[in-house]
A and B are shown apart, each in its own frame.
Chain A
Amino acid sequence: DSGVTQTPKHLITATGQRVTLRCSPRSGDLSVYWYQQSLDQGLQFLIHYYNGEERAKGNILERFSAQQFPDLHSELNLSSLELGDSALYFCASSVDGPPTGEQYFGPGTRLTVT
């Protein structure tokens, strides 16, 4: 158990819908990272927050947004869902930001868009 929690574990929804994925970092960790893992694209970095502020954006679509709250938990919002958004979404946390922060991964949320 990494200490990082993600909810829900599984999510099935229809195209065009909006969902919110939640991540709680390890106690004391200030950084949260979001990643997407799909069969055709592999793992991709989406976004990084540090202590409530956005620090880096990767391959995050405009239909996706994220935020980190004062209690340091983070949410990833996915809207206007498409079939291609079906994937495993991981969050990870670290004590500080890269490059020094070793990351601890949550168990992931499996999103299926039908």
Chain B
Amino acid sequence: KNEVEQSPQNLTAQEGEFITINCSYSVGISALHWLQQHPGGGIVSLFMLSSGKKKHGRLIATINIQEKHSSLHITASHPRDSAVYICAVSTLSNTGNQFYFGTGTSLTVIP
């Protein structure tokens, strides 16, 4: 069973396009994370949110707790946005805070 589902798995966009990546989860969460992983392998945390909406530059993340759904939007996409975007949730269990990851969305932005 997958606690976190992402869609789409792969996404190709033209430079300048508006991009949306979706994440649905099935567990009660304490926080949701959006991560970016570049081809070299390094992981960067983009957002951590538990409600509402956050914005950093051209990136926007939203979460709807009732619907157990989050979206990551990229406005005016650029080739340097090409990466794998991973949704993760942290949830409190009887063995402490657990983290579950989606399988990632591979984004390619074409100039």
A residues with CB within 8 A of B:
2, 33, 35, 42-45, 48, 55-58, 88, 90, 92, 97-100, 102-105, 107-108, 110
List residues of chain A with CB within 8 A of the CB of B111: none
User: Cβ of A104 and Cβ of B99 under 8 Å apart?
Assistant: no
Interface of A, secondary structure class, is strand
Given A43-B88, A108-B41: 10 more A-B contacts, CB < 8 Å? A35-B99, A42-B101, A43-B86, A43-B101, A45-B99, A98-B90, A98-B99, A99-B30, A100-B31, A110-B41
User: Cβ of A107 and Cβ of B42 under 8 Å apart?
Assistant: yes
List residues of chain A with CB within 8 A of the CB of B96: 48, 55-57
User: Cβ of B86 and Cβ of A99 under 8 Å apart?
Assistant: no
CA distance A98 to B48 in the complex (A): 11
1/0 per residue, CB under 8 A from A, across B86-111: the answer is 10101011011111111110000000
List residues of chain A with CB within 8 A of the CB of B50: 99
List residues of chain B with CB within 8 A of the CB of A90: 43
The chain A residue sitting closest to B99, CB to CB, is A45
Please count the residue pairs between chain A and chain B whose beta carbons lie under 8 angstroms apart in the complex. Answer: 61
Interface of B, secondary structure class, is strand
The chain A residue sitting closest to B88, CB to CB, is A43
The chain B residue sitting closest to A101, CB to CB, is B48
Given contacts A99-B30, A103-B33, contact A42 B97 (CB under 8 A): no
